[in-house]
């Protein structure tokens, strides 16, 4: 769901349960980004600006940008790129005109040589002329389509983060980037599986159709009750675990490579774009 690559218990209980998000459900993306920029919103963005796509952020030095862009091209289901900024630019022309990449996300993380060195509500003071920003589609978008299609999203019902797993599926490597695919899991009743596939297949820019349905062991998941990231959810009788490529994959891969300097959003604290989910179909 979001771009967590840390155990989700890093998300504090207060953040997870935060109820006043709903206040921004009907606000426009530009207004909410303005509040974020002014420091009035610093929590997770889940539920804000209903209908608008939210995006994962990976900011890398230009010298790594070609290999990373090639990695996204070779792994489009895990890394559906919505927009890449010009080098040094803090602006996005297509998905969020007027947004400032360095200030309009409620919480950022900075990693140096693969180590999380800090969380910030603005990364203005860290900005460099050689930075390139990658905005990557997020499964928030297809979840709202699944709900519209009558499919329950269990981690919503159980008020927790989506369970995510590191699989045994190797991504296509590109230059210095390589690693295993991370997937998210949603339990689906047998009679809704086909619908879950067809609904998400229509949204290739936010991970598209599932990559696996059923036995977790087939893709190297040993214990479905112990996700690598996010939270365990209930799988009821008559339900099957369905797995989708996850936006955590690119960040997880970037972290493995341990570059000198990377900025990402903080898990759950996404970039709210001006693009409607329906336009990502």
Q: Which is nearer to a second copy, 51 or 66 (CB)?
A: 66
Q: Which is nearer to a second copy, 26 or 93 (CB)?
A: 93
Q: Which stretch binds a second copy (CB under 8 A): 23-31, 73-81, 149-157, 235-243?
A: 73-81
Does 66 contact a second copy by CB under 8 A?
yes
Q: Binding pattern to a second copy, positions 235-274, x when CB under 8 A?
A: ----------------------------------------
Q: Which is nearer to a second copy, 18 or 74 (CB)?
A: 74
* Beta-carbon count within 10 A of 12 CB: 10
- Give the 3-state secondary structure of the chain: CCCCCCCHHHCCHHHHHCCHHHHHCCCCHHHHHHHHHCCCCCCCCCCCCCCEEEEEEEEEEHHHHHHHHHHHHHCCCCCCEEEECCCCCCCCCCCCCCCCCCCCCCCEEEEECCEEEEEECCCHHHCCCCEEEEEEECCHHHHHHHHHCCCCCHHHHCCCCCCEEEEEEECCCECCECCEEEEEEEEEEHHHHHHHHHHHHCCHHHCCCCCEECCHHHHCCCCCCCCCECCCCCCCCCEEEEEEECCHHHHHHHHHHCCCCEEEECCCCCEEEEEEHHHHC
According to CB under 8 A, which one of 1, 11, 36, 81 is a site residue for a second copy?
A: 81
Q: Which stretch binds a second copy (CB under 8 A): 68-76, 140-148, 228-236, 253-261?
A: 68-76
How far, in Å, are 58, 142, 228, 266 from residue 245 at the CA level? 17, 12, 14, 19
Does 69 contact a second copy by CB under 8 A?
yes
According to CB under 8 A, which one of 65, 146, 182, 183 is a site residue for a second copy?
A: 65
Does 70 contact a second copy by CB under 8 A?
yes
Q: Which is nearer to a second copy, 44 or 80 (CB)?
A: 80
Which has the closest alpha carbon to 201: 192, 210, 193? 210
Q: Binding pattern to a second copy, positions 170-199, x when CB under 8 A?
A: --x--x------------------------
How big is the site for a second copy, counted in residues (CB under 8 A)?
15
Q: How far is the CB of 214 from a second copy (least distance, A)?
A: 23
Does 89 contact a second copy by CB under 8 A?
no
Q: Which is nearer to a second copy, 62 or 128 (CB)?
A: 62
List interacting residues with a second copy (CB under 8 A): 65-66, 69-70, 72-74, 81, 84, 86, 93-94, 172, 175, 204
């Amino acid at each position: 769901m979001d771009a967590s690559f840390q155990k989700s218990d890093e998300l504090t209980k207060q953040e997870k349960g935060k109820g006043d998000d709903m206040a921004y459900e009907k606000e426009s993306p530009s207004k909410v980004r303005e509040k974020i920029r002014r420091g009035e919103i610093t929590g997770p963005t889940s539920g804000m600006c209903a209908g608008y796509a939210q995006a994962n952020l990976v900011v890398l030095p230009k010298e790594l940008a070609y290999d990373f862009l090639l990695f996204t091209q070779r792994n489009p289901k895990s890394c559906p790129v919505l927009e890449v900024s010009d080098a040094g630019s803090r602006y996005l022309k297509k998905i969020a005109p007027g947004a400032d990449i360095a200030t309009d996300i409620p919480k950022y993380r900075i990693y140096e040589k693969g180590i999380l060195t800090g969380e910030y509500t603005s990364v203005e003071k860290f900005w460099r002329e050689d930075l390139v920003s990658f905005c990557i589609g997020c499964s928030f978008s297809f979840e709202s389509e699944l709900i519209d299609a009558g499919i329950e999203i269990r981690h919503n019902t159980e008020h927790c983060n989506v369970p995510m797993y590191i699989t045994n599926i190797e991504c296509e490597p590109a230059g210095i980037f390589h690693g295993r695919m991370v997937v998210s899991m949603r339990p689906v009743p047998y009679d809704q599986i086909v619908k879950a596939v067809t609904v998400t297949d229509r949204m290739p820019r936010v991970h598209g159709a599932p990559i696996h349905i059923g036995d977790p062991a087939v893709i190297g998941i040993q214990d479905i009750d112990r996700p690598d990231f996010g939270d365990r959810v209930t799988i009821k009788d008559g339900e099957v675990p369905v797995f989708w490529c996850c936006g955590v994959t690119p960040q997880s891969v970037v972290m493995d490579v341990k570059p000198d300097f990377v900025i990402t959003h903080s898990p759950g604290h996404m970039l709210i774009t001006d693009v409607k989910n329906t336009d990502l179909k």
